[in-house]
Amino acid sequence: MQKGELVYEGKAKKVYLTDREDAYLVEFKDDATAFNGKKHAQIEGKGALNNRISSLFFQYLAAAGVRTHFLERVSEREMLVQRVKILPIEVVTRNLTAGSISKRLGLEEGLKLSEPVVELYLKNDELGDPLINIMHAYVLGFATREQVEKIENMALRINDLLQQLLTPKRIRLVDFKLEFGSLPSGEVVLADEISPDTCRFWDAASSEKLDKDRFRRDLGGLTEAYQEILRRLES
């Protein structure tokens, strides 16, 4: 497998062509960003940790019957994925209040929701990834009605599966962001990554933050928190 031309660079990853027409190579960067890139730093080893953690989550979900773009982890920082057309929607699933929902609604962090809440955001950095509703998503052409229903259902199933995995490992899944893409066949699959960059993980006993909030809030210890998530997943 040969690494080809760079076709996309985001805040946390680079995407390259390969000698396979149906596959991209994703390289995880050491960059840490927050607030739509307004805060930025380099954290040595972060990319490798997120690659390993995401690979473990994708493999677990695939074994449970969830279709993802993941093919294999090919190096410390790189994974091979199927080529997909990313839907311009970020799907956030919440089990407890934290982050933007707490600020938006004036809620204390850590309140358990009576059932998971799925929110949709338009994937647009220039607009600050605004919150949208289901009708916005398909009426404005960001996705079809069927795709919106599919990604919401998939998000809830993934939430159930992740909690089944994480609860015995003493990790509370507070919330998480997913992205989805469509294959040439039109099938919608899970894409992007699942890592402490895109999830809020709290220690079940102490509520210690084991995710990117350590960077957002200047708590320090980000590398150690990511290492702890990986250690628990591999234990």
Condensed to tens digits (0 to 9), the pLDDT of residues 143-171 reads: 999 999 999 999 999 999 999 999 999 99
How far apart CA 165 and CA 87 sit, in angstroms, is 27
CATH number for the segment(s) 3-82 = 3.30.200.20
What pLDDT shows up at residue 111? Answer: 98
197-209 residue pLDDT tens: 999 999 999 999 9
pLDDT reported for residue 109: 97
Residue 207 burial (CB count, 10 A)? 13
Question: b vs e for 15-32, b when ≥16 Cβ sit within 10 Å of the residue's Cβ?
Answer: bbbbeeeebbbbbbbbbb
CB atoms inside a 10 Å sphere around CB 110: 13
CB 108 within 8 A of CB 97: yes
Report pLDDT for 1: 78
Q: Are 59 and 70 in contact (CB under 8 A)?
A: yes
Instruction: Yes or no: say if 179 and 91 are a contact pair by the CB < 8 Å rule.
Output: yes
pTM of the model: 0.96
Q: At the top level of CATH, which class does the domain 87-221 belong to?
A: alpha beta
Residues forming CATH 3.30.470.20 domain(s) in the chain: 87-221
- Whether the per-residue pLDDT at 38 is higher than 80: the answer is no
35 band by pLDDT with thresholds 50, 70 and 90: confident
Q: What is the pLDDT of residue 120?
A: 98
| Beta strand residue intervals within 53-207, DSSP E | 70-73, 78-82, 85-86, 89-96, 112-122, 131-132, 171-182, 188-191, 199-203
Across the chain, what does the average pLDDT equal? 96
- pLDDT-derived band at 36 (thresholds 50, 70, 90) equals confident
